[in-house]
Chain A
């Protein structure tokens, strides 16, 4: 069975600084997807970034980038130039590379960006 671990329950960062959120996972699958979702106080689940395991290049979306280490089963999220609107819960998630599969979530990291 797949598991996803987020070892940082809470993180804080000053506005404009950079912060890295950690995620590790366990799977015997060779091909899969990894995601970071953001959940602000509004409760909406918003996709931040996605990585396909067969792609060696790390995904990047504007200020958000990942460090994907497949052998180490690590998938960290880096947020550059942090903004107050980045304050939210961040969930790392795993999905097998098959149709109809489910997302398996980590326990989340609460990120607070302060002025």
Chain B
């Protein structure tokens, strides 16, 4: 009954390769996100989608392309991987409830290592 699940948990790949990370949420939320956590543990938003529509794109290189086939899924495809892409990538989802109960639920993260 995992709320936000992302696969794979670990990904080791060579420079120049193309890879994808998948994310699914079963919470019925409308909004999904990708965050990147760098080697110093700093977390920063990359993208957000609301009902399959791209809402936020935070100056991420266009080698990163999110895709949302439906509101329960948000995948991240990365082309031509570079050493600097090594990080932990978190998927999250949220549902804005106005005067109550908003929070973001996170997946367990994908540790991407580019060698």
Residues of A within 8 A of B (CB): 33, 35, 37, 39, 42-45, 47, 50, 52, 54, 89, 91, 95, 98-105, 107-108
- Asked, given contacts A91-B43, A107-B41, whether A99 binds B106 with beta carbons under 8 Å apart, the answer is no
7 contacts between A and B (CB under 8 A): A35-B103, A39-B41, A47-B105, A98-B96, A100-B30, A100-B55, A103-B35
Task: Name, among A37, A45, A107, the residue most crowded by chain B CB atoms within 10 Å (CB to CB).
Answer: A45
B101 to chain A, nearest CB (A): 8
- Check A100 against B44 for contact (C-beta < 8 Å): no
Please tell me if the beta carbons of A100 and B108 are within 8 angstroms of each other in the complex. Answer: no
Q: A99-B31, A102-B58, A105-B42 are in contact. List 12 more A-B contacts (CB 8 A).
A: A44-B106, A44-B108, A45-B90, A52-B99, A91-B43, A95-B104, A100-B96, A101-B96, A102-B45, A105-B44, A107-B41, A108-B42
Tell me, yes or no, whether B27 is within 8 Å of chain A by CB.
no
- Find residues 79-102 in chain B having any chain A CB closer than 8 Å to their own CB: 88, 90, 92, 96, 99, 102
Nearest Cβ in chain A — how far from B71, in angstroms? 12
Residue among B40, B43, B50 facing the most chain A CB atoms (10 A cut-off)? B43
Spell out B's residues near A (CB within 8 Å). 30-31, 33, 35, 40-45, 48, 50, 55-56, 58, 88, 90, 92, 96, 99, 102-106, 108-109, 111
Q: Are B50 and A99 in contact (CB under 8 A)?
A: yes
Whether the pair B45, A43 counts as a contact (CB closer than 8 A) is: no
- Which 7 residue pairs are nearest across A and B when measured between Cβ atoms? A45-B106, A99-B96, A102-B45, A105-B43, A100-B50, A43-B109, A100-B55
With contact pairs A47-B103, A95-B102, A105-B43 given, residues A100 and B56 touching in the complex (Cβ less than 8 Å): yes
